[in-house]
Every structure is written in structure tokens, then in C-alpha cells.
Amino acid sequence: MARRVVVTGVGLVTPLGTGVEKTWTGLCSGKSGVGLITRFDTTDHIVKIAAEVKDFDADQYIDKKLSKHLDLFVQYAIAAAEMTFDDSGFEVTEANASRIGVITGCGIGGLPTIEKYHTIALERGVKRITPFFIPMVISNMGAGQISIVKGLKGPNLSVTTACAAGTHAVGEAYSMISAGRCDVAVTGGSEATICPLAVGGFSSMKALSRRNDEPERASRPFDRDRDGFIMAEGAGILMLEELEHARARGAKIYAEMAGYGLSGDGFHMAAPPEDGDGAVRCMQMALADAGMNVDDIDYINAHGTSTPLNDVVETRAIKKVFGDHARKLAISSTKSMTGHMLGGAGGIESVFTALSLHHQIIPPTANLENPDDECDLDYVPGSARETKIRAAMSNSFGFGGTNAVIIMKKFEG
């Protein structure tokens, strides 16, 4: 029999602020984390805006000797994990360490460090490459370093499935606990690739918004004037725990995991099929895994990237899965405020989904002023909404046609 799994801790590093309280308050007030890029000179770039983390201090979470050998995406992951442990009150011991897993997602890894040392190698020679270079850049080091820092000896896994990575990580962690492979899992996603190569690369694909003169209004999912997504960075980490294990220590419970779905489009390297078939099957799988009917879901944290094709296709997929109930759902894209954190997005949005259930509040979709004719559902425009939420779904769809969906429900004891 599958074991029940609950969320007992959360941690966030986002463009809205470092820490859960700063981010959640900003999110519910419709605050934007998007601004002009400060990390590098954008003179020669078409796209000059991104959602940067502005208030992060690694020294608050990581030993200085360690942090200087870590790429920023790993620093964010460790910091969010430390917050999660503090929030959950969980203590690692020699007796329980082997039953605690770490499963995180990352889409790209240490690209800024690759850029840096490629330049050093060309200008000063390959002998100037640090011996820490490879461990700094490989994408599994989020999970690896969390495990090392906290002494966690259970399953250790990194998922690299583009923009679905964080949600896949949470789903896999849920599956592992449910199946008995571990009792606790630290899970989520992190990404930090606001650098010339990444911004230039996504820009050349025409995937990014070019609304440089209005950064705060640039991310506008489901709006007819949307013109691309906003590069963002950050980390979202959750502690998942087997229910009886959590009860035994009197843990605070934010929400209960209920279902997980994953699928492939088998269609295109970057674009979804116009009928949303992969997303449809993924949402249906998550509902079946949860043993839920479509009318059990009250809220969807949408993938909602603010790209012309994605928002329409996701809307079509939701309509196909939910039928008449699609008109009764509340749907919002928190990327309208945080930007798109690529492989970290699903982890952050999983935290948002848990917080929505815990507080019974749905964050808004910011900048939705003129809805696309095909995007005609309830996207909670402008203002957060206090309402009854029994169960919520979180969608993530990535390049390569990889899809992930999780469902959480309000914990009822």
C-alpha cells in the first residue's frame, strides 16, 4: 500500500526576496521581480531585462571556504535547503540519515562559471582553470552539496529535464517516499543562468520578452500583448515526509502530496504540439495517480511562461482535460511576477502550491490587462484571491517535449 506523503518545510530564494515570507508577501501583492540586468553589460544585447535575485547573502547560509567553490545555482539550492530544515524543525541524526533523500532539479547547471573559465582559458591559458571547475558546473551538485552539507545518506538524485526539472524532482521524491525507499526527501529545483551566453542564446530563439522599457510589465502570461518569457533565477526547496513519520515528531504540515504525472510530446525540440497532447496526458496521469476527478481540483499553478504559443496551448490542454469544469477553475501564472527560473521553476512553484493550500490564497496573474481571445479562463488577474482550495495542480513543460505535473491537496488529518 502506498504511503501518504506531506510537505513539512519550505525554503525560497527568488527575485521577490530571499526567504519565504518576503517572496510570498510580494507574490500575493502582485509585486514584480523583473528589472534591468545588472550582472553584465547589456550594451550589445537585444534583451536587457531579467528577474535577478538582489538580496542574497551566501554567508548567512554557507561557510565562506565552501561558497567560493560553488556556482550560484548551488549556493541558492543550499540556502533554500537550510531554510527548509529551519522551517520544518527536522534534525538529522546518525540513525535517520540513511532514510533521508535529496532529489533536486536543474535545467542547465553552472553556465556562468563555464563562461568565466572559458574566458580565462583563452586569455591566460588552461593552467589557470581552477581544480574546482568541474564540480562547480555539473548540474547534480545542487543535490550533491545539500547531501554533503547536511549529512544526508539516502537516495541522491538530480533531474535535468529543462523547465520541468523542478516538478519532476518533487514528483520523484514523492514517489520514493510513497514506495518506501526513504522516509524524508529534500526536493525542489534551482537555477542561476543570467549571463551573456544564456540571455543571448534564448534571445536568438526569440523566446524572451524585449519589453526593455517596461521591465515590471514584461511578463504577461495569457495577455494578447505578451512577447516572450523573462529569464529568472532562484531556488525552491521543500521537505517531503511520510505522514506517520511527520506525525511522530509533531511536524507542521503545509499540504499533502496527492498525484504525479509525466509524459513526452514526441514532437519538437522547443515547441509544444498545438493540441497540447503531451500536457493533456500528463495532467490526466496526475489525476489518475491521485484518484481524483477533474472537479476535485480548485486551482492550477500554470506553467504560464508568457510566450505566444505556450499560453494558448496550455489553455487548450486544460480545457480538454477539465471540460466544463475548466470554467470553474482558478488558474494563475506566478511567472508573471518571478519570471521563469527554468529548471528551478517547478521547485519554486511547488512551494507556491503548498503555500496556497496552507493559506487558502491564490496568487494573481500580474499584467493580465487584455486577455488573448483563446485564453478565456479565470486566470485570477491583478489581485490575490482568498478562497477555498481543496486540491491544486502545478504544471511544468520543458524543451525536448518533457512534461511534469503534481497535485497537492489540503491536509485533513
Kindly state whether residue 254 falls inside one of the protein's structural domains: no
Contact between 253 and 246 (Cβ < 8 Å): yes
Mean pLDDT of 350-357: 98
In angstroms, the CA 242 to CA 59 distance is 32
Predicted confidence (pLDDT) at residue 1 exceeds the cutoff of 90: no
In angstroms, the CA 389 to CA 266 distance is 34
3 state SS of 244: helix
CATH label of the domain that carries residue 196: 3.40.47.10
Q: C-alpha cell of 216?
A: 515590471
pLDDT tens-digit profile of 116-173? 999 999 999 999 999 999 999 999 999 999 999 999 999 999 999 999 999 999 999 9
Kindly state whether residue 93 falls inside one of the protein's structural domains: yes
Same domain, 167 and 275: no
* Domain of 124, in residue numbers: 5-248
Which of these, 107, 52, 84, lies nearest to 346 by C-alpha position? Answer: 107
pLDDT tens-digit profile of 279-333? 999 999 999 999 999 999 999 999 999 999 999 999 999 999 999 999 999 999 9
Kindly state whether residue 309 falls inside one of the protein's structural domains: yes
Same domain, 237 and 264: no
Same domain, 307 and 170: no
Same domain, 314 and 378: yes
Per-residue model confidence (pLDDT) at position 187: 99
Kindly state whether residue 333 falls inside one of the protein's structural domains: yes
Which of these, 32, 7, 182, 176, lies nearest to 87 by C-alpha position? Answer: 7
Interstrand relation of 402-409 and 391-398 (parallel, antiparallel or unpaired): antiparallel
Same domain, 241 and 158: yes
Provide the sign of the torsion angle of the four alpha carbons 316, 320, 323, 329, taken in this order: negative
pLDDT tens-digit profile of 250-280? 999 999 999 999 999 999 999 999 999 999 9
In angstroms, the CA 189 to CA 160 distance is 10
- What pTM was estimated for this model as a whole? 0.98
In angstroms, the CA 413 to CA 410 distance is 9
In angstroms, the CA 142 to CA 76 distance is 8
CB atoms within 10 A of CB 21: 10
Contact between 399 and 163 (Cβ < 8 Å): yes
Same domain, 106 and 237: yes
Same domain, 233 and 285: no
Kindly state whether residue 255 falls inside one of the protein's structural domains: no
Kindly state whether residue 154 falls inside one of the protein's structural domains: yes
What's the mean pLDDT when you consider all of the chain?
98
Mean pLDDT of 404-412: 98
Which of these, 174, 199, 245, lies nearest to 409 by C-alpha position? Answer: 174
Per-residue model confidence (pLDDT) at position 297: 98
Report the domain count for the chain.
2
Per-residue model confidence (pLDDT) at position 413: 79
Q: Reply yes or no on whether 163 is catalytic.
A: yes
CB atoms within 10 A of CB 250: 7
The one-letter amino acid at 82: E
Kindly state whether residue 253 falls inside one of the protein's structural domains: no
Please pick, among 163, 182, 195, 282, the residue that the annotation labels catalytic.
Answer: 163
Kindly state whether residue 179 falls inside one of the protein's structural domains: yes
Interstrand relation of 100-105 and 234-242 (parallel, antiparallel or unpaired): unpaired
